């Protein structure tokens, strides 16, 4: 773990560093509503293994966890607040690191995907990878987004039609993009929470099950797109 400076004060984060000589492009990994889980750490490590200096800010570490969740979701809807500042500060932290090339992307899942969408038009990120990102309050600004690679599940009950809408908005702005909707999966199909066997039925029933084939294809697309826009 590490900490980085943000407007509301220092924040803990998980930092993963590639092997070998740098500098490397950076990636800010924005977690879902479960927080900085082992799954998010594995994702951050995977970016590092592919040559990215990767940081995952712990957005729920500013006091009571439930209050942090509520405040973070409010920030996502309003487009401002400590959580937005924290994500942008994490990017600034990477850029200030001598091991970073200065090009930084964002990747997020569910709530974190929403922050990747929210900050894509900010001018801070050079590429974004929102995965089944819940809609932020500024979706009308997405025509000005940075290059975006996005992944959705067609069986996602939370985000019906989201892939098609994002495709339309990015196309309207001439934004370089790759938006895919996988027909056989639902929400959270890239998140491998290593759910205990007795709970997997609940996970499948809720439409939140991990699916390796689609997850690996999404990873392939993200790494190819980041390779084009961040390297």
Pairing relationship of beta strands 24-30 and 100-109 according to DSSP bridges: parallel
Separation of alpha carbons 142 and 37, rounded Å:
29
Pairing relationship of beta strands 100-109 and 127-131 according to DSSP bridges: parallel
Give the confidence band of 207 by pLDDT, cuts at 50, 70, 90.
low
For residue 154, what pLDDT is reported? 97
Whether omega before 23 lies within 30 degrees of 0, making that bond cis, reads yes
For residue 66, what pLDDT is reported? 82
**Cβ pair 14, 42 in contact under 8 A:** no
Hey, which bits of the chain come out as E strands?
2-4, 11-16, 24-30, 53-57, 100-109, 127-131, 148-153, 177-182
Statement: residue 9 has pLDDT above 80: yes
For residue 152, what pLDDT is reported? 98
Separation of alpha carbons 152 and 215, rounded Å:
10
Separation of alpha carbons 68 and 76, rounded Å:
12
Locate the domains of the chain by residue range.
2-230
pLDDT digits (tens, 9 = 90+) for 131-187: 999 999 999 999 999 999 999 999 999 999 999 999 999 999 999 999 999 999 999
How many other C-beta atoms lie within 10 A of the C-beta of residue 155? 16
pLDDT digits (tens, 9 = 90+) for 102-118: 999 999 999 999 999 99
Mean pLDDT for the stretch of residues 22-32: 97
Give the confidence band of 198 by pLDDT, cuts at 50, 70, 90.
very low
The domain made up of 2-230 is a member of CATH 3.40.50.1820: yes
Q: What mean pLDDT value characterizes the chain?
A: 93
Q: Which residues of 184-203 are buried (b: 16+ CB within 10 A; e: fewer)?
A: ebbbbbbbbbebeeeeeeee
More confident residue, 205 or 42: 42
Smallest CA-to-CA distance from 100 within 165, 43, 54 is with: 54
For residue 93, what pLDDT is reported? 98
For residue 168, what pLDDT is reported? 98
Statement: residue 195 has pLDDT above 80: no
Which residue bears the tokens 């924040």? 11
Give the confidence band of 89 by pLDDT, cuts at 50, 70, 90.
very high
């Amino acid at each position: 773990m590490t900490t980085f400076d943000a407007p509301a004060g220092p924040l803990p984060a998980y930092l993963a560093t590639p092997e070998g000589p740098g500098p490397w492009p950076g990636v800010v990994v924005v977690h879902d509503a479960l927080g900085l889980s082992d799954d998010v750490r594995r994702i951050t490590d995977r970016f590092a293994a592919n040559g990215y200096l990767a940081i995952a800010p712990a957005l729920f570490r500013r006091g009571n966890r439930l209050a942090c969740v509520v405040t973070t979701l409010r920030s996502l809807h309003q487009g401002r607040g400590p959580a937005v500042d924290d994500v942008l500060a994490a990017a600034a932290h990477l850029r200030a690191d001598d091991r970073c090339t200065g090009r930084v992307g964002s990747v997020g899942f569910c709530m974190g995907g929403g922050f990747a969408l929210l900050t894509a038009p900010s001018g801070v990120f050079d590429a974004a990878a929102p995965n089944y990102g819940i809609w932020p309050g500024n979706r009308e600004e997405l025509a000005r987004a940075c290059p975006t690679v996005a992944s959705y599940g067609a069986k996602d009950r939370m985000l019906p039609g989201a892939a098609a809408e994002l495709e339309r908005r990015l196309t309207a702005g001439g934004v370089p993009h790759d938006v895919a909707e996988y027909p056989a999966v639902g929400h959270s199909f890239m998140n491998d929470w290593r759910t205990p066997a007795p709970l997997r039925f609940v996970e499948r029933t809720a439409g939140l099950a991990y699916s390796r084939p689609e997850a690996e294809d999404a990873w392939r697309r993200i790494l190819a797109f980041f390779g084009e826009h961040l390297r």
